[in-house]
Amino acid sequence: MPVVAVLGLAGPVDAAPLAAIPCDVTALNNAIIAANNNTGPQTIRLARKCVYNVLTPASTGGLGANALPKITGTVTLLGNQTTIRRDPDAADSFRIAQIDGPNGRLTVEGVTATGGGYLDYAGTYLPTDGGTLILRRSTVTNSTANQGGAIYVNQGSTLEIYDSVLRDSAAQRGGAISNGPGSTTLLQKTRVLGNQATELGGGIFTAGTSLTIKNSHIGGNRAFQQGGGIYNDRAPMNISSTTIANNRAGDLGGGIANDGTTTLTNSQVRRNVALNGGGVWQGADASALGLVNSRIVDNTPNNCRPVGAVPGCTN
């Protein structure tokens, strides 16, 4: 069994001791177990340019199997051009990681996670039961699930994403992200690109407590039904300094299909396409979309529908 070397050096996150591990899946699993149990450092430095190629899952639960041991404590994975992937030849369906609350907290920095899923929930990351997932300068790609092709935020859990990319994943709802009831999600300086949903929310589907998007780009996503970029299902959503562009819906809301309370501030919804409501489709049930220094322009075949549903939006 590979040895986990504990270094008494100040780490970049919370000045924590580091477990520096080789390019070996067993070493990674052992380090996570030690961090969960408080018998080893909580901050794990992954091997530079390593591909941790997982052929069989390390853990399982009621919502499916996981490449890594379930995160039940505080764990930080620090990568440097590092990849964690489900082996393309793996016989089992599994995501990369499940973060179990209330004490599970996973921070991932500088890591590409890819190839996970073929499950009902979360192709790559699943924070659940009050767990927390934080992504920094990371990429999630080529993952598949019924709900949340890349990430499903479940049962009062929290997701924060900074300076990252979510691309080329697929689901029935939420090609990249699906926010479940009671969840809270923040995206900042993040790109959601080229994802698709066979139903709702090609980029993002949200039914959570809140979704906040800042200084980001939602582009090139597709929903076969509604919400090519984003589908908001009766949730509060605040979007600022963000562009939602070049998304497509087969039915309503190429950029956004909104059935909740949404505010766009200093943002643009442009060059999206749908059968109707090329930019925004505004639902009728006690929902609203407000514009603050924002523009909905150059969408096909129109910008906002029904006519007059979004004050300040013209065609």
Separation of alpha carbons 100 and 127, rounded Å? 6
Here the tokens at position 279 are 């930019």
Distance CA(62)–CA(13), nearest Å, equals 32
Q: Are 126 and 104 in contact (CB under 8 A)?
A: no
Structural domain includes residue 179: yes
pTM of the model: 0.93
CA angle 13, 72, 75 (to 5 degrees): 15
Reduced to 3 states, what is the DSSP secondary structure of residue 259? Answer: coil
- CA distances (Å), origin 218, targets 20, 68, 175, 262, 300: 35, 29, 12, 16, 17
Dmax (CA) of the chain? 66
Residue 41 lies in a domain: no
* Residue entry with tokens 């090519």: 228
Spatial distance between the Cα atoms of 160 and 136, rounded to a whole number of angstroms: 9
- Token pair for 237: 């959503």
Predicted local confidence at residue 13, as pLDDT: 44
Give the pLDDT band of residue 286 (cuts 50, 70, 90): low
Examine the pLDDT at 96 and tell me if it is beyond 90: yes
Contact status, residue 140 vs residue 124, Cβ threshold 8 Å? yes
Tokens representing 307? 């006519």
**The tokens 């309370």 sit on which residue?**
261
Residue 11 within any structural domain of the chain? no
Cβ-in-10-Å burial (0-12, 13-18, 19+) of 45 comes to: buried
Structural domain of 228: 60-78+88-305
Q: Mean pLDDT score of the chain, rounded to an integer?
A: 94
Q: What is the pLDDT of residues 156-175, one digit of tens each?
A: 999 999 999 999 999 999 99
Cα torsion through 194, 195, 196, 202, rounded to 10: -100
Task: Count how many domains the chain has.
Answer: 1
Dihedrals φ, ψ of 220, to 5°?
70, 20
**pLDDT above 50: residue 259:** yes
Q: What is the pLDDT of residue 16?
A: 60
For 36-69, what is each residue's pLDDT tens digit? Answer: 999 999 999 999 999 999 999 999 989 999 999 9
Residue 174 in any domain: the answer is yes
Which residues, in sequence order, are CB contacts of 307 under 8 Å at separation 6+?
Answer: none
H or E segment to which residue 53 belongs: strand 51-54
For the segment 193-246, what is each residue's pLDDT rounded down to a tens digit? 999 999 999 999 999 899 999 999 999 999 999 999 999 999 999 999 999 999
Read off the tokens for 191: 């790109």
pLDDT at 270 over 90: yes
Q: Does residue 7 lie within any of the structural domains? A: no
Query: Phi/psi of residue 29, each to 5°?
Result: -60, -45
Q: Under a CB-based contact definition with an 8 Å cutoff, are residues 98 and 71 in contact?
A: yes
pLDDT of 271 over the 80 cut = yes
Q: Is residue 155 part of a domain?
A: yes
* Domain membership flag for residue 94: yes
233: in domain? yes
Report whether pLDDT(185) > 80.
Answer: yes
The count of C-alpha atoms lying within 13 angstroms of the C-alpha of 53, restricted to the half-sphere facing its C-beta, is 7
Confidence of residue 155 (pLDDT cuts 50, 70, 90): confident
